[in-house]
Amino acid sequence: MARHPSPPPAAQAAAGERRLLEYKTGLYEQFARLGRALGSGPRLELLELLAQAERTVEELARLTGLSLANTSQHLQVLRRARLVEARREGFYTRYRLAGPKVYRAWQALRELGREYAAELESVARAYWQNRERWDGISATELRRRVQKGEAIVLDVRPREEYAAGHLPGARSIPLGELQARLRELPKTSPVIAYCRSPYCVLAEEAVASLRAAGRQAWRLELGYPDWQAEGYPVEHEIDDAAGTPAKMPGKNRFPKKSKFRKSGVSNSRSLESGVRR
């Protein structure tokens, strides 16, 4: 049987270079595809909202102020990039993050922006120009105060976000209900409010309302998903994708010390990150 002669060494080298070029081009194009999916302000906001709880297109459109059509288009881009997943529930489709690494990518982008994008500071200054900013406290300080019974943790996000997950022992009073429900908070207990992220203003506004009412109040520097991403324990009222109610501890009880320990995280740094003051 005749044997085919081997290609000359130069031809073999050229073929190898072509394969390497095709490999690198394909590899970086896939990374760029993810970057393009993340390269939109509305889509980043959608990711932050989905980090709180599953949402329908209608809910996301209402929260972002986008039209239904635009919201759906952005979700399809994220879905094609496999950054979000969807499931049917009756007549509705509910969206969620594809996994915790998706939120960590958004965290990394925020960190990059704080480090290198001076424009972020300009945007923040423009918003807070005529308003008072309240100093935030770290997760480490929150844990210390709560374990000593020196503070109440207050979740001021919408109720459905609290149900999907919250800090141990946190009380739920959405910002829009805070004024009407102030009597539910003991006057002598300092309050630590938290919301969706370091850039979320719900906790800031809650602290302003509480201090105007003569209460001691601070905001947590982190949002709920950041707390969870660092490996700290959380509690749920809904414990699966089907929306099954979970068993909850006694209402408004402070958690035991063990509940505020990190679970399965080797990184022991304190959670000092947040919006620069």
* Residue 274 zone, left/alpha/beta (φ > 0; ψ -120 to 50; rest): left
235 inside domain: yes
Q: Is residue 255 part of a domain?
A: yes
Q: What distance separates the 2 farthest-apart alpha carbons in the chain? A: 96
Q: Closest Cα to residue 166, out of 236, 253, 240, 221?
A: 236
Q: What is the pLDDT of residue 261?
A: 57
Measured distance CA(210)–CA(192) in Å, rounded = 10
My answer on whether 150 and 231 are in the same domain is: yes
**Predicted local confidence at residue 259, as pLDDT:** 55
- Distance separating alpha carbons of residues 151 and 137, to the nearest angstrom: 12
Whole-Å CA distances, 203 to 12, 106, 159, 213: 63, 20, 14, 15
Domain count, the chain: 2
Question: Do 138 and 235 share a domain, yes or no?
Answer: yes
- Assign 171 to helix, strand or coil: strand
47, 135: one domain: no
Q: Which residue has the tokens 């979970």?
A: 246
pLDDT at 251: 35
| Three-class DSSP category at 37 | helix
Q: Catalytic positions, please? A: 195
Q: CB-based contacts of 64: which residues, under 8 Å, 6+ apart?
A: 42, 45, 46, 49, 71
pLDDT at 238: 63
- Residue 114 in any domain: the answer is no
Q: pLDDT tens digits, the chain, 277 residues: what are they?
A: 556 677 777 888 888 889 999 999 999 999 999 999 999 999 999 999 999 999 999 999 999 999 999 999 999 999 999 999 999 999 999 999 999 999 999 999 999 988 888 888 788 778 877 666 667 899 999 999 999 999 999 999 999 999 999 999 999 999 999 999 999 999 999 999 999 998 899 999 999 999 999 999 999 999 999 999 999 999 998 644 444 434 333 333 434 444 555 654 333 333 333 333 3
d(CA 142, CA 151): 8
Q: Which pLDDT score, from 0 to 100, does residue 3 have?
A: 65
Question: What does the pLDDT read at residue 132?
Answer: 62
Do 159 and 249 share a domain, yes or no? yes
Host domain of residue 50? 22-102
